[in-house]
Structure 1
Amino acid sequence: MQLTHLNQQGEASMVDVTDKAVTERHARAFAEVHMSEQAYRQLSEGNNRKGDVLSVARIAGIQAAKKTADLIPLCHPLALSKVQLDFTLDPDQCRVLVQSFCRLAGRTGVEMEALTAASVAALTIYDMCKAVDPAITIGNIHLLEKAGGKRGHWHGAGTATAPATAEEN
């Protein structure tokens, strides 16, 4: 397999997507945030001193998806048509499941935008809850699926640990 992010001299290079077809593309990504019972209770009951944790995390994730090309050097700036963040609260394990969904009509995929959105939403949850529990952990960040382009639809086998978002149903 030829590496597409290297030029003839072996230097990092942005891939030229000019000749690729414009297709509808989407991607979903996932992250988990584990915390103490006290931090989870404050988050789930809306009693966090910093405010509505999930609303702020949702906005942060959307903003992050839109800024992915500023954060990841070889990513193309994309005109996203949809960014959605969904959160599932799991009281049994004191965790928040984060799922992002990104869509566009374009020449390159939105996997990095979906992964960035889920990651930054998880980081925002940490930031807003760290005063109560500095031992919060973030993990299991991965791509759930991607669709569009020459390779078509890909779904991670056995990785879908969160329910489908309302947008996808």
Structure 2
Amino acid sequence: MNKFLWDLAYFQQRAILAPTNKVVDSINKELLESLPGEEKVYFSSDSLCQSEDESEFNMALFPPDVLNNLRLSGLPNHKLILKLGAPVMLLRNIDQANRLCNGARLQVTRHEKVVIEAKIITWTKIGHHTLISRLKMTLSDKRILVKISRRQFPLSLCFCYDNK
């Protein structure tokens, strides 16, 4: 894989399907470790939404460590680990005119503290570079009593997908 890392077609034509998120995470982690270079780790900032009653009861039910461990569809993970060359998928529509939509695949070309530069590897803008910044995303899930806000890059590794 390393000799084809910067070949635009390499990740365009490849994806691994897996039956569960647990398997997806395991494969993504193993393939990321096989890439050369140093890992960059990004942690989210999680909180209860301002509109929610920030009672002591809710704060006791959802302290920061509980919020950080929630893995909910529609929100990026609390911990995002990247390396240069890693394929990532956008989890939000950020620029529809330039096809930076939910599901677009990109390849990390630079990772800084507050911004990630990536090259588009799918759809019509293949080869164009873009900057991705952290977004504040809110999720309301009927299984959880409160609205959760997470500030994180709207990205996930995408060597492997959940086939659902």
- Tell whether the structures are fold-level matches, with TM greater than 0.5: no
Answer 1 or 2: which has greater strand percent: 2
Whose radius of gyration is greater, 1 or 2?
1
